[in-house]
Chains A and B, each alone.
Chain A
Amino acid sequence: MIVVVLGIATINFFLLHLAPGDAAQVLAGEAGSATPEYIATLRAQFGLDRPLWSQFLSYLGNVLTFDLGWSFRHGMSVGRLILDRLPATLLLMGASVGFAALAGSALGALAGRRAGSLADTAVSTVALLFYATPTFWVGLVLTVIFSVWLDWLPVGGMTTIGAGFSGAAYALDVAHHLVLPAATLGLFYVAVYARLMRASVIDVQGRDYVRTAVAKGLRSHRILRRHVLRNALLPVVTMLGVQIGSVLGGAVLVETVFSWPGLGRLAFEALFQRDLNLLLGVLLCSSVVVVVVNLVVDLAYAALDPRIEVA
Chain B
Amino acid sequence: MARHFGVGSRLARGDGHGGSAIAQTLRFASVALYAWSFLRFAAGAAVIAALLLIATRVSAAEPKAGGTVTAIIQPEPVVLTSALNSAAPTGTVSGNIFDGLVDYDFDLKPRPALATSWETSADGKAITFHLRPGVTWHDGTPFTSADVKWTLENVWKKIHPRNQLTFAKVTEVETPDDLTVVLKLSQPSVAILSSVNSNGAQVLPKHLYEGTDVLNNPYNNKPVGTGPFVFKEWKKGEYIALERNPNYWDKPKPYLDRLIFRVIPDAAARAAAFEKGEVQYGVLSPVPLKDAKRLAELPTLKVETKGYEWLSPFLFIDLNVDNPQLKDVRVRRAIAHAIDKAALARIVWFGFGEPASSPVPSTLKAFHDPAAPAYAFDTKQAEALLDEAGFPRGAGGVRFTLNHDYIPYGDDYKRSAEFIKQALKRVGVEVNVRTQDVPTYTKRVYGDRDSDVALTWFAAFSDPQVGVTRVYNSASIGKNIPWTNGSGYRNPEVDALISSVQGEADPEKRVADFRKLQQIVLTDLPTIPLVELKFFTVHAAGLKDAVTTGDQVYGSLKNAWFETAPAQN
Contact = CB atoms under 8 A, between A and B. Distances in A.
A and B found bound together: yes
A33 B483 contact: yes
A140 B239 contact: no
B56 interface: no
A308 B444 CA distance: 56
Nearest to A31: B161
Interface stretch (B22-30, B502-510, B545-553): B22-30
Interface centre among A75, A158, A160 (most CB of B within 10 A): A75
A79 interface: no
A30 B265 CA distance: 17
A285 interface: no
Contacts of B12: 269, 272
Interface of A: 19-22, 25-39, 41, 45, 73-75, 81, 84-85, 88, 134, 136-137, 140-141, 143-144, 147-149, 151, 154-162, 252-253, 255-259, 261-262, 265-266, 268-269, 272, 274
Contacts of B11: 30, 272
Given A25-B480, A28-B482, A257-B266, A147 B272 contact: yes
Given A22-B439, A84-B236, A158-B238, A28 B32 contact: no
Given A35-B481, A272-B17, A258 B85 contact: no
Contacts of B162: 31-33
Contacts of B344: none
B426 interface: no
B277 to A, nearest CB: 9
Given A33-B483, A154-B569, 5 more contacts: A38-B161, A158-B238, A259-B262, A262-B237, A265-B237
User: Majority SS of interface residues in chain A?
Assistant: helix
Given A21-B442, A39-B481, A253-B22, A29 B238 contact: no
Interface centre among B17, B22, B85, B161 (most CB of A within 10 A): B161
A29 B159 CA distance: 14
B260 A261 contact: no
Nearest to B276: A148
Interface of B: 1-5, 7-8, 11-12, 14, 17-19, 22, 25-26, 28-29, 32-33, 36, 68, 70, 75-76, 78-79, 85-88, 159, 161-162, 164-165, 215-216, 220-221, 235-239, 241, 258, 260, 262-266, 268-269, 272-273, 275-276, 278, 437-440, 442-444, 459, 470, 479-484, 569
Given A136-B26, A257-B266, A33 B165 contact: yes
B78 to A, nearest CB: 6
A32 B76 CA distance: 17
Contacts of B442: 21, 25, 29
A285 B4 CA distance: 32
Contacts, number: 206
B262 to A, nearest CB: 7
Contacts of B482: 25, 28-29, 32, 34
A296 B496 CA distance: 71
A256 B4 contact: no
A88 B273 CA distance: 21
Contacts of A84: 236-237
A21 B481 contact: no
Contact of B4 (A32, A39, A144): A32
Contacts of A26: 438-439
Nearest to A28: B482
B272 A143 contact: yes
Nearest to A143: B272
Contacts of A38: 159, 161, 164
A136 to B, nearest CB: 6
Contacts of B263: 259, 261
A32 B238 contact: no
A91 to B, nearest CB: 14
Interface centre among B215, B262, B273 (most CB of A within 10 A): B273
Contacts of B269: 140, 143, 155-156, 257-259
20 contacts: A29-B438, A29-B439, A32-B86, A33-B161, A33-B162, A34-B161, A75-B221, A84-B236, A136-B22, A136-B25, A140-B268, A144-B272, A155-B272, A156-B273, A162-B68, A253-B19, A258-B266, A258-B269, A261-B238, A269-B76
B483 A73 contact: no
A75 B440 contact: no
Contacts of A74: 78, 236
A229 B6 CA distance: 57
Contacts of A136: 22, 25-26, 266
B413 to A, nearest CB: 15
Contacts of B216: 75
Interface centre among A21, A143, A158, A261 (most CB of B within 10 A): A21
A87 to B, nearest CB: 12
A246 B361 CA distance: 48
Contacts of B8: 29-30
Contacts of B273: 155-156
A188 B126 CA distance: 67
A148 B272 contact: yes
Given A29-B439, A31-B161, A144-B33, A261 B262 contact: no
Contacts of B276: 147-148, 151, 155
A149 B38 CA distance: 12
Nearest to A259: B264
Contacts of B443: 20-21, 25
Contacts of A262: 237
Given A137-B25, A161-B238, A31 B266 contact: no
A160 B70 CA distance: 11
Contact of B164 (A35, A144, A161, A266): A35
B481 A33 contact: yes
Contacts of B33: 144, 148
Contacts of B29: 137, 140-141, 144
A101 to B, nearest CB: 27
Contacts of A158: 238
B22 A256 contact: yes
A272 B36 CA distance: 34
B502 to A, nearest CB: 13
A137 B32 CA distance: 10
Contact of A140 (B32, B161, B470): B32
Nearest to B85: A31
Nearest to B82: A31
Nearest to B68: A162
Interface centre among A29, A36, A74, A141 (most CB of B within 10 A): A29
A29 B237 contact: no
Contacts of A161: 70, 238-239, 241, 260, 262
A74 B75 CA distance: 13
Contact of A256 (B87, B88, B159, B266): B266
Nearest to A271: B437
A266 B237 contact: yes
Contacts of B165: 33, 35
Contacts of B19: 252-253, 256, 268
Contacts of A33: 1, 161-162, 165, 470, 481, 483-484
A274 B76 CA distance: 15
Contacts of B2: 32
Report the 8 A-B pairs with minimum CB-CB distance, sorted nearest first: A32-B1, A21-B439, A261-B237, A32-B4, A29-B482, A140-B29, A30-B8, A30-B87
A156 B264 contact: yes
A259 B161 contact: no
Contacts of A81: 236
Contact of B481 (A28, A144, A148, A151): A28
Contact of B266 (A27, A36, A134, A259): A259
A56 B102 CA distance: 48
A33 B216 CA distance: 22
